């Protein structure tokens, strides 16, 4: 193993057979076959047989297996066979459902695969990090996750957070110079290791190790952020199901003992009874179907471009009360077009929209302006094109950009004014750069002037920043005069008030002093050239989504780095903060915590805010009792994203650091996607609730039938085998159908769910009890009635079984709405899975009732039409009573809302 950190850069490149400009694609491909992909092996997913075996690890199945053994001793072979079949089918169902949940999450993991910027064939391209090979040269930019182990060969103030690897929380300053061969991992400043995060600056590094050969691979730490298949709600339900199982088992044991000791029943008879009781009452399918519901929800969100990184976020989304969103690119389109250039006492309008460089520069009454005849315009256009890291590409007549859209807009301006990037750069080659950072709001570049004696610095950034660095301004005639700060401030405010993003452009000449540019160099003695006004139209779908959020009781707050007036105008167009002034970052800084809490309560637009402000805003909102979703894209947004209840990162424009801190990633960076995710989140929660509300009464009803029979010493209305049949025939078909319930249209018309709301509320217990009793009364009543009227016990039992199953079918339709009516087309027929499940269930019941095989196994018997009518009567009763109860609940709620 080489000690790459101690080698100098040339030796490193030589040994790796590469150059500062990286590898060719062919060579990279060859190396990829040799070294394998740059991935850590996934935690070995369990073998299928192990996953299958694990399904048997379940209290109920233990009970049933035990019962099967005992019935075998008693030579009740049919019971034994049915019990064993039930065990196997239950385990298989669990197995299939778990598999389905897993594969849903797998496809989502793939969407989150990291990418890297790599030099290939002399160009920098964006590739999946898995394609990296030793010898590749990688470009690291602040916010990137280091994709492989690198020996740094060029470093520009690069700082890397290595906490993931070394536990050291202070970012490390990197260098390209070799360090001592014996240095510990944390001291190898010339290397950057896979899994750490660049938090500042920029650098190039050559890949020295990939995949399992990296330090991360060696310490065998697995990639963070792999979603786990559980959430607080699922755990709550799992605990509840286990608790219920134990209670039922204890109750069964007591019944068993009482039956023998008190009533003098035979142990064999009592035993079958008790097994039937346990099998009917324990909600064994609950956790498995809940997991499926959740992963289906996650899949639905992914289809809508919202990729969930942490499963609990699905639930939290449903209770979000505030969404804090960035402006640029999320609420707006991030398709920037320069509309105005303001030189001293001279305004130029720019025609055209979008990135196609067609449009004229005009002044006054539409007179076309010649750039060359207006010195400040000429220099401003040059400054915009040169102080720029974007690219404008003509791809078969369609204009595309690479890099920052604000900068691309300046390239388009250049073209419209007749200046290409190539020509500009040829005339004034760049020597150095201070890149743009949101915190500082400016960018500066250093260029060699024609005469070799001077260097020229171009500065572009937020007007107040640039103005503060200016002493002079360039007049229309080319003369320099003392800068008129008041004039420029007024122009900047005017432009911003129209909703335009304003940038100021300035320059400064200095003696050639060594081709490097520092922060301080960009702070004094500049000459102001012009202001440019850039339009970034709101996304129409975001405007709609904001309205939808408001209807759903969710407050939307816009947090932007832009000028207060721009923010106010865009806010107004979006329906945010209308009529009130935005609060600025500087104002936030002046507020203490209690004051900030008051301010956030009634401000919707925050301007000139930087990432640190976001963190304080999240905290203040949370202290006010809100559940907060917060968007972010930069490295410095990570703390706010982590702190928020739902951190939302941008997938297209965001850094890896932000994605890693987030719970959800937006593939399209679009605000409307957040609203869609909230809608789905509410839908998933609803579906979980609906499923539990369906499942518990079906178990409860059966259990009550058996308990009542024991208590009143009646003939048993359901044999153990029949109870198991009902469970198998209904839970696997009917219950599962609810997992596919589409999100209700009305979810975004009600307020967010209180975060403390428990699923198992008083209303919930009432509903479960009511339906359980109804089902029990129907089945037991019919059974006794039939016995009274002299039919055989087989027919009476077949009626009882069918009564329960038919009641469940009807109640399944009730369960499609928790409180809403289903007495409409959508309610009755809106879910084809429900209709399919009911059809399947009817088929099974007909087999059960009429085929001789089932009649032998389960002791069922054919029914007459009159008997079916009675069965149907029970189903309809359950259905209409449940609808009447919902109607009453709605009335009560409406009354309460009125008073
Ligand atoms: N590439 C750039 N070069 C120089 N200055 C810039 C550049 N981009 C933006 N600015 C200036 O910095 C300010 C803040 O920009 P910033 O990128 O932080 O806001 P934003 O992140 O685009 O907005 P939002 O927070 O809504 O996404 C802008 O108003 C502009 O004046």
Sequential DSSP letters for 648-713: EEESSS--HHHHHH-SEEETT--HHHHHHHHHHHHHHHHHHHHHHHHHHHHHHHHHHHHHHHHHTT
Atom of ligand 1 nearest to the CA of 567: 26
CA of 501 to the centre of ligand 1 (A): 8
Q: Which of 461, 466, 570, 634 to mutate to test the pocket of ligand 1 (most atoms within 8 A of CB)?
A: 461
CA of 328 to the centre of ligand 1 (A): 8
DSSP state at residue 735: I
Atom of ligand 1 nearest to the CA of 563: 29
Nearest CA to ligand 1 atom 14: 561
Any bridge partners for residue 442, and if so which?
461
Nearest CA to ligand 1 atom 20: 561
Q: How far apart are CA 510 and CA 387, in angstroms?
A: 17
The predicted model scores a pTM of 0.81
CA of 210 to the centre of ligand 1 (A): 36
User: CATH code for 306-331+539-669?
Assistant: 3.40.50.1000
Nearest CA to ligand 1 atom 2: 436
Q: Classify the phi-psi angles of 753: left when phi > 0, otherwise alpha if psi is within -120 to 50, otherwise beta.
A: beta
CB 21 within 8 A of CB 194: no
Atom of ligand 1 nearest to the CA of 562: 29
Nearest CA to ligand 1 atom 25: 560
Q: How far apart are CA 798 and CA 795, in angstroms?
A: 5
CB 627 within 8 A of CB 320: yes
Is domain 4-43+112-218 classified as CATH 3.30.1050.10? no
CATH H-level superfamily of 337-532 = Calcium-transporting ATPase, cytoplasmic domain N (3.40.1110.10)
Nearest CA to ligand 1 atom 19: 561
What are the residue ranges in the chain where pLDDT is below 50? 221-228
Q: How far apart are CA 737 and CA 687, in angstroms?
A: 10
Q: Which of 384, 406, 493, 556 to mutate to test the pocket of ligand 1 (most atoms within 8 A of CB)?
A: 406
Two structure tokens written together for 44: 């070995």
Q: How far apart are CA 139 and CA 155, in angstroms?
A: 10
CA of 462 to the centre of ligand 1 (A): 8
CA of 645 to the centre of ligand 1 (A): 26
CA of 504 to the centre of ligand 1 (A): 12
Q: How far apart are CA 552 and CA 749, in angstroms?
A: 5
Atom of ligand 1 nearest to the CA of 326: 26
As annotated, the active-site residues are 326
Two structure tokens written together for 239: 């605990």
Q: What is the pLDDT of residue 223?
A: 41
Q: How far apart are CA 296 and CA 314, in angstroms?
A: 11
DSSP state at residue 174: P
Nearest CA to ligand 1 atom 15: 561
Nearest CA to ligand 1 atom 29: 562
Q: How far apart are CA 449 and CA 447, in angstroms?
A: 6
Atom of ligand 1 nearest to the CA of 441: 12
CA of 334 to the centre of ligand 1 (A): 11
CB 324 within 8 A of CB 629: yes
Fold match, 4-43+112-218 / 234-302+677-898: no
Nearest CA to ligand 1 atom 16: 561
Q: What is the pLDDT of residue 55?
A: 77
Q: What is the pLDDT of residue 732?
A: 62
Could you report the per-residue pLDDT of 601-655, keeping only the tens digit for each?
989 999 999 888 999 999 999 999 999 999 998 888 888 998 999 999 998 878 8
Q: What is the pLDDT of residue 878?
A: 95
Enumerate residues lining ligand 1, CB below 6 A.
326-328, 404, 406-407, 436, 438, 441-443, 460-462, 501, 503, 560-563
Atom of ligand 1 nearest to the CA of 388: 1
CA of 521 to the centre of ligand 1 (A): 21
Q: What is the pLDDT of residue 230?
A: 59
DSSP per residue, 456-507: EEEEEE-HHHHHHTEEEEE-TTS-EEE--HHHHHHHHHHHHHTT-EEEEEEE
Atom of ligand 1 nearest to the CA of 332: 26
Q: Which of 327, 561, 654 to mutate to test the pocket of ligand 1 (most atoms within 8 A of CB)?
A: 561
CA of 466 to the centre of ligand 1 (A): 13
Q: How far apart are CA 382 and CA 392, in angstroms?
A: 15
Q: Which of 441, 529, 612 to mutate to test the pocket of ligand 1 (most atoms within 8 A of CB)?
A: 441
CA of 461 to the centre of ligand 1 (A): 8
Nearest CA to ligand 1 atom 28: 562
CATH H-level superfamily of 234-302+677-898 = Calcium-transporting ATPase, transmembrane domain (1.20.1110.10)
Q: How far apart are CA 132 and CA 27, in angstroms?
A: 12
- Distance between start and end Cα atoms, the chain: 77
Nearest CA to ligand 1 atom 22: 328
Q: What is the largest CA-CA distance in the chain?
A: 116
Q: Which of 324, 380, 462 to mutate to test the pocket of ligand 1 (most atoms within 8 A of CB)?
A: 462
Give the residue among 293, 292, 298 at the shortest CA–CA distance from 311.
298
ipTM of the complex: 0.96
Q: What is the pLDDT of residue 570?
A: 92
Nearest CA to ligand 1 atom 27: 328
Atom of ligand 1 nearest to the CA of 610: 18
Angle (nearest 5°) at CA 689 between 687 and 691: 70
CA of 441 to the centre of ligand 1 (A): 6
Q: What is the pLDDT of residue 224?
A: 41
CA of 634 to the centre of ligand 1 (A): 12
Atom of ligand 1 nearest to the CA of 566: 29
Q: Which of 323, 333, 538, 562 to mutate to test the pocket of ligand 1 (most atoms within 8 A of CB)?
A: 562
Atom of ligand 1 nearest to the CA of 327: 26
In Å, how far are 767, 816, 829 from 881, measured between CA atoms? Answer: 11, 15, 20
CA of 560 to the centre of ligand 1 (A): 8
Two structure tokens written together for 439: 């915190």
Q: How far apart are CA 388 and CA 92, in angstroms?
A: 60
Atom of ligand 1 nearest to the CA of 330: 27
CA of 465 to the centre of ligand 1 (A): 12
Nearest CA to ligand 1 atom 6: 461
Centroid of chain to Cα 84:
42
CA of 766 to the centre of ligand 1 (A): 55
DSSP per residue, 325-378: EESTTTTB----EEEEEEETTEEEEE---SSS----EEETTTEEPPGGG-HHHH
Q: Which of 440, 467, 503, 532 to mutate to test the pocket of ligand 1 (most atoms within 8 A of CB)?
A: 503
Nearest CA to ligand 1 atom 5: 461
Q: How far apart are CA 629 and CA 650, in angstroms?
A: 13
Nearest CA to ligand 1 atom 31: 462
Two structure tokens written together for 97: 């459902």
Domains in the chain: boundaries = 4-43+112-218, 234-302+677-898, 306-331+539-669, 337-532
Contacts of 389 (CB under 8 A, 6+ apart): 403, 404, 407, 433, 435, 436, 443
């Amino acid at each position: 193993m080489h000690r790459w950190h101690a080698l100098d850069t040339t030796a490193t490149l030589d040994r790796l057979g590469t150059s500062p400009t990286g590898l060719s694609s062919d060579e990279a491909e060859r190396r990829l076959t040799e070294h394998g992909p740059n991935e850590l092996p996934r935690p070995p997913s369990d073998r299928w047989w192990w996953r299958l075996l694990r399904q048997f690890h379940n209290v109920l199945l233990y009970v049933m297996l035990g019962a099967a053994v005992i019935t075998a001793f008693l030579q009740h072979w049919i019971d034994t066979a049915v019990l064993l079949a039930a065990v196997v089918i239950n385990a298989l169902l669990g197995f299939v459902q778990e598999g389905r949940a897993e594969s849903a999450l797998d496809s989502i993991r793939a969407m989150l695969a990291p990418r890297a910027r790599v030099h290939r064939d002399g160009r920098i391209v964006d590739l999946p990090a898995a394609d990296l090979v030793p010898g590749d040269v990688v470009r690291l930019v602040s916010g990137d996750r280091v994709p492989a182990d690198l020996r740094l060969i060029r470093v520009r103030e690069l700082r890397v957070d290595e906490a993931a690897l070394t536990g050291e929380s202070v970012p490390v300053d990197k260098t390209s110079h070799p360090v001592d061969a014996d240095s510990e991992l944390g001291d190898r400043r010339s290397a950057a290791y896979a899994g750490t995060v660049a938090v500042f600056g920029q650098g190039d590094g050559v890949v020295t190790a990939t995949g399992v050969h990296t330090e991360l691979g060696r310490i065998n730490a697995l990639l963070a952020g792999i979603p786990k298949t559980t959430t607080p709600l699922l755990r709550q339900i799992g605990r509840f199901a286990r608790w219920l199982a134990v209670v039922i088992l204890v109750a069964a044991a007591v019944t068993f003992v009482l039956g023998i000791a008190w009533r003098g029943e035979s142990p064999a008879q009592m035993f079958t009874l008790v097994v039937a009781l346990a099998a009917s009452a324990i909600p064994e399918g609950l956790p498995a179907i809940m997991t499926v519901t959740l992963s289906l929800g996650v899949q639905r969100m992914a289809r809508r471009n919202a990729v969930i990184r942490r499963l609990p976020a699905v639930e939290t989304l449903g209770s979000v009360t505030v969404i804090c969103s960035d402006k640029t690119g999320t609420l707006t389109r991030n398709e920037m077009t320069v509309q105005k250039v303001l030189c001293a006492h001279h305004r130029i309008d720019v025609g055209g929209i979008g990135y196609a460089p067609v449009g004229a520069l005009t002044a006054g009454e539409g007179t076309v302006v010649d750039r060359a005849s207006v010195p400040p315009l000429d220099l401003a256009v040059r400054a915009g094109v040169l102080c720029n890291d974007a690219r404008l590409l003509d791809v078969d007549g369609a204009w595309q950009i690479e890099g920052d859209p604000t900068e691309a807009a300046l390239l388009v301006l250049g073209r419209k004014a007749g200046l290409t990037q190539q020509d500009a750069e040829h005339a004034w080659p760049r020597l150095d750069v201070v890149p743009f950072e949101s915190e500082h709001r400016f960018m500066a570049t250093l260029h060699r002037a024609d005469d070799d004696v001077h260097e020229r610095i171009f500065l572009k950034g937020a007007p107040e920043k640039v103005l503060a660095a200016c002493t002079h301004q360039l007049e229309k005639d080319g003369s320099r005069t003392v800068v008129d700060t008041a004039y420029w401030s007024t122009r900047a405010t005017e432009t911003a008030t129209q909703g335009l993003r304003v940038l100021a452009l300035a320059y400064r000449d200095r003696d050639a002093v060594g081709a490097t540019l520092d922060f301080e160099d960009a702070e004094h003695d500049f000459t102001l050239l012009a202001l440019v006004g850039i339009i970034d139209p709101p996304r129409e779908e975001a405007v709609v989504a904001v309205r939808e959020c408001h209807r759903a009781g969710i407050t939307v707050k816009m947090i932007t780095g832009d000028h207060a007036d721009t923010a106010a105008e865009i806010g107004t167009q979006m329906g945010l903060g209308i009529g009130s002034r935005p609060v600025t970052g500087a104002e936030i800084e002046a507020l203490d915590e209690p004051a900030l809490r008051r301010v956030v309560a009634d401000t919707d637009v925050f301007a000139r805010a930087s990432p640190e402000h976001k963190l304080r805003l999240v905290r203040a909102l949370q202290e006010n009792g809100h559940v907060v979703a917060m968007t972010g894209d930069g490295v410095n947004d990570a703390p706010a994203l982590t702190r928020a209840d739902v951190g939302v990162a941008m997938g297209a424009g965001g850094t890896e650091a932000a994605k890693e801190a987030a719970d959800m990633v937006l593939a399209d960076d679009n605000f409307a996607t957040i609203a869609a995710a909230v809608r789905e989140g509410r839908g998933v929660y609803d579906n979980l609730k609906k499923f539990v509300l369906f499942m518990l009464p079906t178990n409860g009803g059966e259990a009550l039938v058996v308990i009542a029979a024991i208590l009143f010493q009646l003939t048993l209305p359901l044999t153990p085998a029949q109870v198991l049949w009902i469970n198998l025939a209904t839970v696997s078909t009917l219950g599962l159908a609810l997992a596919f319930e589409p999100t209700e249209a009305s979810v975004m018309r009600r307020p967010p769910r209180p975060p403390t709301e428990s699923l198992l509320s008083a209303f919930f217990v009432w509903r479960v009890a009511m339906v359980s009793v109804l089902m029990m009364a129907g089945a037991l009543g019919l059974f006794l009635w039939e016995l009274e009227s002299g039919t055989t016990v087989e027919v009476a039992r077949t009626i009882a079984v069918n009564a329960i199953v038919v009641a469940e079918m009807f109640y399944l339709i009730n369960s499609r709405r928790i409180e809403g009516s289903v007495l409409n087309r959508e309610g009755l027929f809106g879910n084809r899975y429900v209709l399919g499940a009911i059809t399947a269930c009817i088929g099974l019941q007909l087999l059960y009732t009429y085929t001789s095989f089932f009649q032998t196994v389960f002791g069922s018997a054919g029914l007459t039409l009159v008997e079916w009518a009675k069965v149907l009567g029970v189903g309809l009763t359950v259905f209409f009573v449940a609808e009447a109860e919902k109607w009453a609940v709605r009335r009560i709620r409406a009354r309460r809302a009125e008073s």
